[in-house]
Amino acid sequence: MAKATAIAPANIAFVKYWGAKDLERAIPLHPSISMTLDRCCSHSTVAFDEGSVDDAAKGAGQDSITLVDEAGAPAPTPPGFDRRIRRHLDLLRQWAGKEGSFRVATRNSFPAAAGMASSASGFSALTLAATKAMGIDLSEKESSILARRSGSGSAARSVLGGYVEWPAPGQAVDDESCHAVSLAPASHWPLADVVALVETGPKEVSSLDGHRRAGTSPHFAARLELVPGRLAQVREAIQEKDVEKLGVVLEEDAIELHLVAMSSRPPIFYWKPASLTVLEAVRRWREEGIHAYSTMDAGANVHVICPLEESPAVAERLAALPGVDGVIEDRVGDGPRFVGEDLF
Ligand code: DP6
């Protein structure tokens, strides 16, 4: 029995992935750019027992999967967790051409109740640990493609550190070649992501449903026309380390994603009153000279992007806002790594 453990971080997109050509395999309708985080991670141990399965079972039915909490005790799983992981393990086993069963234990470093997306970090860590346990060393391109095939498109970006674009500029967007590339390492530009937690339960509408409905919004076609210009501006802002240039575009892109969501059929409202309180406060702080800009994923929490040296002040101000239940101070990070700290 071979075993491997990987830690992979979540990421926050500056130009967001919203809408897919192929939802099952997460082939996006347009590119996205993100920053890989450092503290918000998934930690996954996978053991592979090769050839331990009789022909009838063919492996899948015998895989065992547990989500554990900080103390190592089994934790309640979000809806669809088990089914999505089993499907991905099966896909990895078939890709590797192996027979055998997996044992998986996984843990998230960010609060389970924080309502933050854990599928990008989770599927990235699972892909790396499961393939390593089968004795395979993946290239970055292969890890991005395989993580993407989990159906969590943002997982394709989490296998790389620093600033990441997915798919690569100019790349043919098909299942064989749709993968992420690095735009710059984390050391290039120390930015922070200070997360204001305003919602603690699981989100009401999954990103998958959001992608599915995106095309029903009359504003989606306009978004597709605007995205290429934004990608160019974000690449430039990263290159030049220009936080104002980046901030204006990332706020615009996030608001637009929510405009599309709110005008989809049926509509999706991720915002809560406290989300608006944070968005408004961040705009006000900018007038006082703070370089902070807001973005939101498919949920009510607000991610505030700012230079690392301004992160403590931003965190303090966010924590004092009404409706903010907690704050996570994260920053750009180097991406996934294999570790010796096995979960079983
Ligand atoms: C709004 O399909 O990757 O975060 O599997 O839930 O992580 P999960 O979502 P995924 O869509 C991500 C949607 C987004 C924008 C983004 O990260 O680009």
Per-residue pLDDT of the chain (344 residues; tens, 9 = 90+): 899 999 999 999 999 999 999 999 999 999 999 999 999 999 999 999 998 665 545 555 799 999 998 888 998 888 788 999 999 999 999 999 999 999 999 999 986 555 576 899 999 999 999 999 999 999 999 999 999 999 999 999 999 999 999 998 887 789 999 999 999 999 999 999 999 999 877 778 889 999 999 999 999 999 999 999 999 999 999 999 999 999 999 999 999 999 999 999 999 999 999 999 999 999 999 999 999 999 999 999 999 999 999 999 999 999 999 999 999 999 999 999 999 999 99
Q: Which atom of ligand 1 sits closest to the CA of residue 118?
A: 7
299 lines ligand 1 (CB under 6 A): no
Distance of CA 269 to the CA centre of its chain: 20
pLDDT for residue 137: 97
Is residue 306 within 8 Å of 291, Cβ to Cβ? Answer: yes
153 lines ligand 1 (CB under 6 A): yes
- Residue to mutate, 17, 37, 178, ligand 1, most ligand atoms under 8 Å from C-beta: 17
In the chain, the DSSP E strands lie at 2-15, 20-22, 27-28, 32-50, 64-67, 100-108, 163-166, 181-184, 191-197, 293-295, 302-307, 326-331, 337-338
Query: Residue type at 150?
Result: S
Spatial neighbors of 106 by CB under 8 A, at least 6 apart, are: 42, 43, 44, 45, 65, 66, 67, 68, 122, 125, 126, 343
Is residue 315 within 8 Å of 305, Cβ to Cβ? Answer: no
Task: Tell which residue, 174, 196, 158, has the closest CA to residue 303.
Answer: 196
119 lines ligand 1 (CB under 6 A): yes
165 lines ligand 1 (CB under 6 A): no
166 lines ligand 1 (CB under 6 A): no
Is residue 144 within 8 Å of 154, Cβ to Cβ? Answer: no
The alpha carbon of 260 and the centre of ligand 1 are apart by a number of angstroms equal to: 15
pTM value is: 0.96
106 lines ligand 1 (CB under 6 A): no
Query: 178-204: b or e for each residue (b if 16 or more CB lie within 10 Å)?
Result: bbbbbbbebeebebbbbbbbbbeeebe
Q: How many CB atoms lie within 10 A of CB 268?
A: 21
Is residue 310 within 8 Å of 292, Cβ to Cβ? Answer: yes
